[in-house]
Amino acid sequence: MKNKSSFGKWFGYLGFDHFIAPFLIKLIYWVGVLVIVSAGIGGFFANFEMPERGLGGVLLALVATVLSLLLWRLMCELLILAFNIYARLVEIRNLLSSRQERMDAYRKMPSVRALNNE
C-alpha cells in the first residue's frame, strides 16, 4: 500500500487520478436506504388507517420495501462496478506499458542486438 501525504491524496483527486464518485455513490446509497425504509414504514402504518386493505396491504408494504432495498442495492453496486472495472483496466494498461518498456530496454542491450544479427 502506498503511503502518501494528505497533499498527495488531494492532488490525486484534483488531478482525476482518484475518483470521488464511488464514495458519493455509497453516501447516496445510504440516503436512499433511509428514504426507502421511511417510505416503507409510512406505507406499513398507512395500511392500518385503511381497513379495506387489510393484512394484504400490510404485507404488500413490507414486500415492496424489501424489494425496493434490493433493487436500490443492485443499482448502486452496478455503478461502483463500472468504476472498479475502469480501475482494473488502468492497472492492466500500466502493467503492459511497463512490460513493453522493459522489453524495449532489453532489445537495446548490445549483447541482445549481437545475437539478433547472427
Mean pLDDT, range 88-104, rounded to an integer: 83
Confidence (pLDDT) at 98: 83
Whether 63 and 38 have beta carbons less than 8 Å apart is answered as no
Confidence (pLDDT) at 81: 93
In whole angstroms, what is the distance from residue 15 CA to residue 43 CA?
46
Domain membership flag for residue 1: no
Domain membership flag for residue 107: no
Whether 22 and 83 have beta carbons less than 8 Å apart is answered as yes
Confidence (pLDDT) at 53: 76
Domain membership flag for residue 100: no
pTM: 0.67
Confidence (pLDDT) at 1: 44
Domain membership flag for residue 108: no
Confidence (pLDDT) at 56: 84
Confidence (pLDDT) at 90: 86
Domain that holds residue 76: 10-87
What percentage of the chain exceeds 90 in pLDDT? 34
Domain membership flag for residue 113: no
Domain membership flag for residue 110: no
Angle, alpha carbons 37-40-45 (nearest 5°) = 130
Domain membership flag for residue 3: no
Average pLDDT value over all residues in the chain: 83
Domain membership flag for residue 53: yes
Q: Specify the number of domains making up the chain.
A: 1
Most confidently modeled of 45-49, 78-82, 102-106, 111-115?
Answer: 78-82
Confidence (pLDDT) at 29: 97
What's at 23, amino acid-wise? F
| 99 or 106, which is more confident | 99
